[in-house]
């Protein structure tokens, strides 16, 4: 069974304040002021001037904790910085953040809840020597479909209302939730010997990144893996492939008969990487491999599912998670491997003698052969006399032996008699066909040559009469 639909995704916009790009320090309009040429996406503020202060990493000697920029909670005045996000009641949300003082020990509060009724979750006090890192969880109460995630300034060293409380690397949202979709190309029904391309797309419909993402797929029973067909089609590391050793992110295990892909940013040949959510990477990542349909699959269906393992690293300890794709089913048309054998009782005869041919057609399966026909047209120099068949009938006018249906493992025989009328080497061929695809057409034909010698004279005209 495939992974069920994901809960409503929750993820902050611009959590590390990387947008817009600033030089030094800039005080810019919040996300409610989009009529201006430059504003801060995602974030709103309770400040009366609707302004948010962003710093470039390294400005005044302060490095960012995450990325190239960070924010100062106190821009021109004491305020609350927040985002309102649609939420599903009962969903567990994770939060994490970096906090730092500017002139000394600064204190802020984290408030979460419905807009207008938020509740303080925790207070943070940090000095100027390092960023403090904090994590936690929040479960959305019943009936709360909109949740505010807010930072409220409590106090700042120095007494200036426009100075204090640096913020960076903020996350608030749902756990990663990988959804797999598997397709087979072409869709079918297909024939034995056809090549199927399996394509699997992994999308992270959650909030946090899916860490250490590894996708595996057992080669479907009744098929054979096509070497060298592993490929990452879309997403991080596009183009990575190979069955050989190295840093490529795809491999085939012949003993387990399984293909494996290490996926996401930073993936290697031995470890999965990080797959962002679909807000950041809408198309996710797509991989593919190919198989050949085996003879044993004739008249059956091929089915299998792919699986992925990954981690939710938003909490204090990594949480292992798994996902399963939809079941992909491919119908395979029946197949019948016909073999024709032809022989002659005598391969040297004289004009006027009877040539007796024996033709057998055998069905090696795996399925019943229907509408079996063996074409064996007598060439010039032979005149049809009679035909006996264990199944069906022979038409001398067309040279077709209508065998009919032939079960897997069954054999039919035709005895064909003809009178030799012309001297010379006479060859003729028997060829078998049926309604089903023959996985090995090389044995569908057999040819026999018969040497016809002139008839001896009844007397020697040069001999004296007695």
Domain CATH for 340: 2.60.40.1530
- Answer yes or no: is 242 within a domain: yes
Our CA angle for 362, 368, 373, nearest 5°, is 55
Would you call 402 exposed, middle or buried from its count of C-beta atoms within 10 A (0-12, 13-18, 19+)? middle
Q: Is residue 465 part of a domain?
A: no
For residues 310 and 383, state if they share a domain: no
| Least-confidence region, from 1-5, 223-227, 385-389 | 1-5
* Pair (245, 160) in one structural domain: no
Same structural domain for residues 322 and 352? no
Q: Please tell me the predicted confidence (pLDDT) of residue 229.
A: 94
Sign of CA dihedral 129, 131, 136, 141: positive
Residue 378 lies in a domain: yes
Residue with tokens 């006996």: 388
Give the separation between CA 92 and CA 144, rounded to whole angstroms: 13
Residue 75 has which token pair? 């821009």
Domain boundary among 331, 358, 374: 331
Alpha-carbon separation of residue 298 from 205, 218, 317, 433 (angstroms): 38, 20, 49, 17
Here the tokens at position 403 are 């065998």
297 and 428 housed in the same domain: no
* pLDDT higher than threshold 50 for residue 157: yes
Judged by DSSP in three states, 154 sits in strand
* The residue to which tokens 């002659």 are assigned: 344
Domain for residue 148, yes or no? yes
Domain's final residue, options 111, 143, 173: 173
Edge-to-edge strands, sheet with 92-100: 25-29, 51-56, 69-72, 166-173, 92-100, 132-139
Is the pLDDT at 127 greater than 50? The verdict is: yes
Rounded distance between C-alpha atoms, residue 394 and residue 384, angstroms: 11
User: What pLDDT does 458 receive?
Assistant: 54
Kindly indicate the confidence band of residue 269, based on its pLDDT and cuts at 50, 70 and 90: confident
* Pairing mode of beta strands 25-29, 92-100: unpaired
pLDDT band with cut points at 50, 70 and 90 for residue 5 = low
- Per the domain annotation, does 463 fall within a domain? no
| pLDDT on residue 188 | 81
Q: Is the model more confident about 462 or about 446? A: 446
Look at residue 56 in the predicted model and tell me its pLDDT.
98
- Note whether 285 and 350 are same-domain residues: no
The first and second tokens of residue 316, run together, are 């204090």
Query: Pairing between strand 336-344 and 223-225?
Result: unpaired
What is the pLDDT, as a whole number, of residue 448?
96
Beta-strand pair 285-293/178-185? unpaired
* Domain stop point among 145, 173, 201: 173
Residue 8 has pLDDT above 90, yes or no: no
What mean pLDDT comes out for the span 250-276?
A: 94
Same domain for 287 and 369: no
Predicted pLDDT at 383: 96
In this prediction, residues 119-132 reach a mean pLDDT of 97
> Quick check: 359 and 445 in contact, CB under 8 A?
no
Beta-carbon contacts of 182 under 8 Å, excluding residues fewer than 6 positions away, are: 198, 199, 200, 201, 217, 305, 306, 325, 326, 328
The chain-wide mean pLDDT, for the chain, equals 93
376, β-bridge pairs: none
Q: Which of 295, 294, 293, 291 is nearest to 226 (CA)?
A: 291
Instruction: Name, in order, each residue with C-beta under 8 angstroms of 153's C-beta and a sequence gap of 6 or more.
Output: 73, 74, 78, 79, 80, 108, 164, 165
| Amino acid 408: pLDDT | 96
pLDDT digits (tens, 9 = 90+) for 312-347: 999 889 999 999 999 999 999 999 999 999 999 999
Mean pLDDT computed over 265-270: 91
- Claim to verify: residue 67 and residue 141 sit in the same structural domain: yes
Whether pLDDT at 110 is above 60:
yes
- pLDDT value, residue 201: 98
CA dihedral 224, 229, 233, 238 (to 10 degrees): 140
| Distance separating alpha carbons of residues 44 and 130, to the nearest angstrom | 26
Q: Write out the H or E segment, with its range, that includes residue 197.
A: strand 195-204
Handedness of CA 65, 69, 73, 77 (dihedral sign): positive
Can you tell me the distance from the alpha carbon of 415 to that of 392, in angstroms, rounded to the nearest whole number? 12
Number of alpha helices (DSSP H) and beta strands (DSSP E) in the chain: 0, 34
Domain count, the chain: 3
Residues 162, 79: Cα–Cα separation, whole Å:
9
pLDDT at residue 382 greater than cutoff 50: yes
pTM recorded for the entire structure: 0.82
* 45 and 110 both lie in a single domain: yes
Q: What is the pLDDT of residues 93-108, one digit of tens each?
A: 999 999 999 999 999 9
Is residue 248's pLDDT more than 80? no
Task: Give the distance, in angstroms, between the CA of residue 129 and the centroid of all CA atoms in the same chain.
Answer: 48
Given a cut of 80, is residue 21 above it in pLDDT? yes
CATH number at residue 193: 2.60.40.740
Q: Give yes or no for residue 461 having a pLDDT over 70.
A: no
pLDDT above 70 coverage of the chain, percent: 94
Exposure string over 53-84, b if 16+ CB within 10 A, otherwise e: bbbbeebeebebbbeebbbbbbbeebbbbbbe
Tell me: do 159 and 186 sit in the same domain. no
187 and 294 co-located in one domain: yes
| 162 & 193 share domain | no
Q: What average pLDDT does range 172-187 have in this prediction?
A: 95
> Are residues 300 and 202 part of one domain?
yes
Note whether residue 167 is domain-resident.
Answer: yes
Query: What is the span of the domain harbouring residue 29?
Result: 25-173
List the single range of 75-79, 81-85, 444-448 with lowest mean pLDDT.
75-79
Peptide bond into 97 cis (omega under 30): no
Closest CA to 365 of 315, 293, 440, 309: 440
Strand pairing class (445-453; 348-350)? parallel
Residue 410 CB coordination number (10 Å): 18
**Is residue 61 helix, strand or coil?**
helix
- At 139 the pLDDT is 96
């Amino acid at each position: 069974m495939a992974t069920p639909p994901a809960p409503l995704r929750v993820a902050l916009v611009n959590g590390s304040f990387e947008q817009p790009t600033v030089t030094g320090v800039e005080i810019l309009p919040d996300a409610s002021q989009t009529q201006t040429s430059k504003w801060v996406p995602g974030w709103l503020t309770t400040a009366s001037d609707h302004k948010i202060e962003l710093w470039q990493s390294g400005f005044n000697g302060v490095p960012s904790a995450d990325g190239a920029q960070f924010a100062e909670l106190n821009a021109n005045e004491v305020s609350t910085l927040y985002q309102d996000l649609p939420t599903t009641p009962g969903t567990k949300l994770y939060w994490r953040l970096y906090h730092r003082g500017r002139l000394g020990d600064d204190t802020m509060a984290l408030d979460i809840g419905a807009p207008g009724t938020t509740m303080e979750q925790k207070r943070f006090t940090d000095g100027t020597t390092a960023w403090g890192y904090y994590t936690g969880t929040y479960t959305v109460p019943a009936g709360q479909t909109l949740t505010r995630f807010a930072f409220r300034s409590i106090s700042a060293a120095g007494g200036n209302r426009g100075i204090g409380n640096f913020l960076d690397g903020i996350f608030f949202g749902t756990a990663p939730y990988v959804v797999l979709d598997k397709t087979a190309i072409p869709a079918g029904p297909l024939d034995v010997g056809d090549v199927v391309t399996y394509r699997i797309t992994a999308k992270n419909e959650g909030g946090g990144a899916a860490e250490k993402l590894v996708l595996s797929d057992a080669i479907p029973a009744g098929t054979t893996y096509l070497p060298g067909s592993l490929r990452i089609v879309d997403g991080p590391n596009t183009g990575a492939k190979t069955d050989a050793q190295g840093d490529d992110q795809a491999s085939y295990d012949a003993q387990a008969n399984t293909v494996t892909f290490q996926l996401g940013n930073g993936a290697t040949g031995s470890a999965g990487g990080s797959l962002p959510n679909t807000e950041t990477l809408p198309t996710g990542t797509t991989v593919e491999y190919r198989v050949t349909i085996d003879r044993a699959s004739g008249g059956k269906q091929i089915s299998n599912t792919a699986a992925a393992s990954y981690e939710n690293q938003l909490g204090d300890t990594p949480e292992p998670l798994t996902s399963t794709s939809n079941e992909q089913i491919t119908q395979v048309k029946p197949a019948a491997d016909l073999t024709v054998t032809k022989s002659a009782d005598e391969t040297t005869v004289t004009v006027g003698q009877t040539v007796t041919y024996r033709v057998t057609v055998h069905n090696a399966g795996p399925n019943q052969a229907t509408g079996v026909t063996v074409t064996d047209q007598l060439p010039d120099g032979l005149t049809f006399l009679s035909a006996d068949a264990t199944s069906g009938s022979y038409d001398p006018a067309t040279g077709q032996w209508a065998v009919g249906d032939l079960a897997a493992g069954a054999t039919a025989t035709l005895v064909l008699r003809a009178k030799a009328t012309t001297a010379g080497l006479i060859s003729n061929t028997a060829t078998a066909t049926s309604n089903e695809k023959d996985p090995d057409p090389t044995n569908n034909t057999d040819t026999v040559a018969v040497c016809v010698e002139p008839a001896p004279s009844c007397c020697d005209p040069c001999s004296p009469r007695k």
